[in-house]
Amino acid sequence: MVDPEQTSTATAATTEAAADTPAHLDPAASPAHPDRRLVLIDADVAAARTAHSLPYQTFFVQRPGAPVQDLVDDHSGYYTVEFTHEHEHGYEQEQEHGHEHDPAPKEFADFVDQVLRPLSPMAVVGLSPAGQRAAAVANSLLGTGGIPAEDLERLTRPAPSVTPASAPTGLRGSAGTPTAKPGALFINHHSYSHFHRDGRHFLPTSELDVHLVTRNQFHGGVRGLAENPVTQVAMCDPEEEDRWRAACEWTLRNHPVGRVVAVHERAVLLAAEMRSKFGLPGMDFATATLFRDKLRMKEAVRASGAAVVPDFSALDTPDDLLNVDWSTGRKVIKSRWGLAAKDLFMVDTLDEAREVVAGLDLSGAHYGIEEFVTGRIYHCDSVVRDGEIRFSSVGGYLTDPAGYRPGGIFGTVLVREGELAKRITELSAAVLAALGIKDGTTHLELFHTPADELVFCEVAGRPPGGVIPPVIEWQYGFNIVEAQIRLDAGLDVSLGTRDTQGTDPAAPGGGTCGFIAFYPGGDEGHGIPQGRLKELGVVEHIATSGAGNGRGGVRHSTDFLDSYVIKAPDDETLLRRIDDIQDEYRTKDANRR
């Protein structure tokens, strides 16, 4: 399954990233240490800048309505929570109201227990009288060990008096008054910049108060947050499942959030869990499980008769290898919950399978085994609203997604008409009906065998990954990732404009479109001169400086070094242009990029 682990971040028809490793992927570029966490309550900009120079990953806690976007950087997070009884009264009035023995409201104590405890901070530091009282409560509840005295002194040192040219813009209005916008929790495993394209941002922050739970700085971070600020940010390491869940639950309990948004495969199930637990609209946990667990998925598709499904079995013990017929040849062992063609093994004999299984942890219902299917792999990407398919696009991969390798290629070409496209669209519709999706986007993959049979592979309840979204946008005039965000948020969705007559190949709907991508590695030349791109029909070049695993290998099926989106008046021209791009890209020339 092609997954959005690495997708287009280009903002123009031709964009190239810097050759050096981007700061948000380079631990040496930041003093932050994910295992050294510090919480600051009621900080100002000067204290925030000091914190960013210290060897900690910093999390800010501010009052609701307080401006916070000027505090955070690419490796920090922030929460808005009422941590004092003061509100608009002074401390003396707080004592008069009987809170002298209860320095922080219960909401804050719950926040400490549910959010800060899984965070395991070294210390909680208050930077105002009210913040200090709240920090004392937090440190007492958490039993924190503290930070060196010199770091504490630097953080609490009074800032020099300056007169700002203008007051910082608050997230909820200059007076701190909450807006009337509805709230949405966005569970995100992409870099924040992933959602910025062509000078606009996909997150509808003008229509929603967005509460973001996202990966920490070393896995994408929030670079670009200043240009499109959100209401709240919690940052987690990708594997900190308990922290993700705790941050989401606390947000839903303590903020007026009515929607949960997820566009990444790794976020789909947690988002559905939150919707089901809190009674919110959108894909529920039972439906999401059918889209994530490949065994349950295939059981449902086979039971419904929606599509031909290869023989398969759960693989919970080595004995389960005997559940499939080895006389029919090659089998595939893969994770039931995998993505981007990772954790996948091809085996030709039972002995080979036993050797592979000996190195796997089969506990926890994580693996399955199924018949290998020979044939070209196609994908069908759809938009569903109110249970009806409002848009579908069919494409055929240039190579097998599971065949990614150093120096290799990948890509897709749209299949816009003809009997095969019709059959694939109908199969996809039947599968989606069987799995019960009501609103969202989907990415289905299937095999077209030499015998002209369509065989189901798998389907995801999220947008396609890699460079497929830009291809769809260039062809049909809308971004399918943005469509998913707006569907999850309960907002209106535009599916673009199309030149249905196909008279203008460069216009949305005209001609056809596809892409070719190159994996890092290999000893071939790399790159195409800028002046040649237009001649080759390239409408977008996406260069990724952080591709590869740093050791000459490829991490997953969308770990591309260079990708080229191509438009053409017809299928024959598109394929010829793809061949020309591949030949030119391989030409050795030190000055080609």
579 close to 590: Cβ distance less than 8 angstroms: no
Greater confidence, 251 or 74? 251
The domain defined by 376-586 folds into D-amino Acid Aminotransferase; Chain A, domain 1 (3.30.470)
Residue 78 has pLDDT above 90, yes or no: no
- The mean predicted confidence, pLDDT, of the chain is 83
Residue 76 is predicted with a pLDDT of: 77
Residue 364 is predicted with a pLDDT of: 85
For residue 119, give the 3-state DSSP assignment.
helix
Residue 237 is predicted with a pLDDT of: 82
% of the chain residues with pLDDT over 90: 54
> Please, where in the chain does CATH 3.30.1490.20 lie?
311-371
DSSP string, 47-109: HHHHHHTSSSEEEEEE-TT---TTT--TT-EEEE----S-TTS-HHHHHHTT-TT--S-HHHH
Residue 145 is predicted with a pLDDT of: 81
Per-residue pLDDT, averaged over 452-467, amounts to: 97
> What letter does residue 426 receive in the DSSP assignment?
H
In a 13 Å sphere around the CA of 422, the CA atoms on its Cβ side amount to 3
Residue 539 is predicted with a pLDDT of: 97
Reported as a pLDDT band with limits 50, 70 and 90, residue 174 is: very low
Residue with tokens 């307080």: 66
- Chain-centre distance of CA 580, in angstroms? 33
Reported as a pLDDT band with limits 50, 70 and 90, residue 2 is: very low
Residue 204 is predicted with a pLDDT of: 94
Greater confidence, 301 or 241? 301
Helices (H), 257-332: 265-278, 285-292, 294-304
Residue 28 has pLDDT above 80, yes or no: no
Q: CA-CA distance, 441 to 28, in Å (whole number)? A: 38
Per-residue pLDDT, averaged over 504-525, amounts to: 79
Per-residue pLDDT, averaged over 551-563, amounts to: 87
- pLDDT tens column, 474-512: 999 999 999 999 999 999 999 976 544 444 555 666 899
Lowest mean pLDDT among 164-178, 183-197, 332-346, 552-566: 164-178
Reported as a pLDDT band with limits 50, 70 and 90, residue 118 is: confident
The strand pairing partners of 514, in sequence order, are 413, 566
Residue 330 is predicted with a pLDDT of: 95
Q: Which two tokens stand for residue 220?
A: 């994408």
Per-residue pLDDT, averaged over 220-237, amounts to: 80
Residue from 5, 485, 464 nearest 219 by CA: 5
> What letter does residue 113 receive in the DSSP assignment?
I
> Please, where in the chain does CATH 3.30.470.20 lie?
376-586
In angstroms and rounded to an integer, the radius of gyration of the C-alpha atoms of the chain is 26
E strand map for 365-448:
367-371, 376-385, 388-397, 409-414, 440-448
Residue 74 is predicted with a pLDDT of: 65
Residue 16 is predicted with a pLDDT of: 34
CATH for 311-371, among 3.30.360.10, 3.40.50.970, 3.30.1490.20, 3.40.50.2300? 3.30.1490.20
Per-residue pLDDT, averaged over 156-180, amounts to: 41
- pLDDT tens column, 461-476: 999 999 999 999 999 9
Greater confidence, 505 or 460? 460
Per-residue pLDDT, averaged over 261-275, amounts to: 96
Greater confidence, 207 or 71? 207
- pLDDT tens column, 329-378: 999 999 998 776 667 899 999 999 999 999 999 988 999 999 999 999 99
- pLDDT tens column, 193-202: 889 988 889 9
